[in-house]
Structure 1
Amino acid sequence: MSGTIAMAAPQRWVPHIDRNRCEGVGDCVVACPQGVLALGTLGLFERRALSLSGQLRGWAHDWRQAFAVQPQDCHACGRCVAVCPERAVTLVAADTNNPAHASIAAY
């Protein structure tokens, strides 16, 4: 009896930025060899979702934070995680149920 074994797709990882911790230092941007991250300005809608300490931190740093602009290019090397002084960057499994991750998880 001959059969095929279905191979599961390899798990994809994407960087997650904790908006309440990020101070926009940019070490993660420099450390990423794939160009996954970039610095940008936190929008008004996102600012409102921050905790009080996150709002104070954001205001103090002109609302500059890291953003995953090319998450599909992440190779999960962990360099961004290692260099973040605020420990605001983590790698999370791409989730097909999350609209922001759907295309990445299927990649």
Structure 2
Amino acid sequence: MNTCKQAPGAFIPVIDRNRCEGKGPCINVCPYQVFEMFTLPPEARETLSLKGKIKGFVHRWQQANVVLAERCMACGLCVSACPEQAITLARS
């Protein structure tokens, strides 16, 4: 199962809030339970672009959220699974 080449926490997933539509494949594909679905809070909605606000409204503000970044082993499955290309991996 572990084909990852990084130590846990060396990289963390970063979600582009303007792109995420809360479809959830990242949650299902992650072997380390790094993500969960949540409702984007009103204060975070204010910083979205117009396109991000429209997407958010249409999808009831549901988005993926990184809850256990320290478990991420940079396998990239979430990046590949995201249909909106909303996830990148950044060195922590």
Both structures adopt the same fold (TM-score exceeding 0.5) = yes
- Taking only aligned residues, the RMSD between alpha carbons, in angstroms, comes to 1.1
Identity rate, percent: 46
Secondary structure of the residue that 1:87 maps to in structure 2? Answer: coil
Q: Which runs of no fewer than 5 residues in structure 2 stay unpaired?
A: 1-6
Match of 1:65 in 2: 63
1:75 Cα offset (Å): 0.6
Q: Deviations over 1:7-42 (max 9, x none)?
A: xxx781000000000000000000000000111000
CA–CA distance in structure 1, aligned partners of residues 37 and 62 of structure 2: 7
CA–CA distance in structure 2, aligned partners of residues 92 and 41 of structure 1: 23
**Which TM-score applies when normalising by structure 2?**
0.90
1:55 Cα offset (Å): 0.1
CA–CA distance in structure 1, aligned partners of residues 90 and 27 of structure 2: 17
Q: Give the greater-gyration-radius structure (CA).
A: 1
Q: Are residues 1:13 and 2:11 paired?
A: yes
Secondary structure of the residue that 1:80 maps to in structure 2? Answer: helix
Q: Are residues 1:39 and 2:9 paired?
A: no
**Which TM-score applies when normalising by structure 1?**
0.77
Q: Are residues 1:92 and 2:90 paired?
A: yes
Secondary structure of the residue that 2:17 maps to in structure 1? Answer: coil
CA–CA distance in structure 1, aligned partners of residues 59 and 16 of structure 2: 15
CA–CA distance in structure 2, aligned partners of residues 76 and 37 of structure 1: 13
The size of the alignment, in residue pairs, is: 85
CA–CA distance in structure 1, aligned partners of residues 20 and 30 of structure 2: 16
The match for 2:72 among 67, 74, 88 is: 74
Secondary structure of the residue that 2:88 maps to in structure 1? Answer: strand
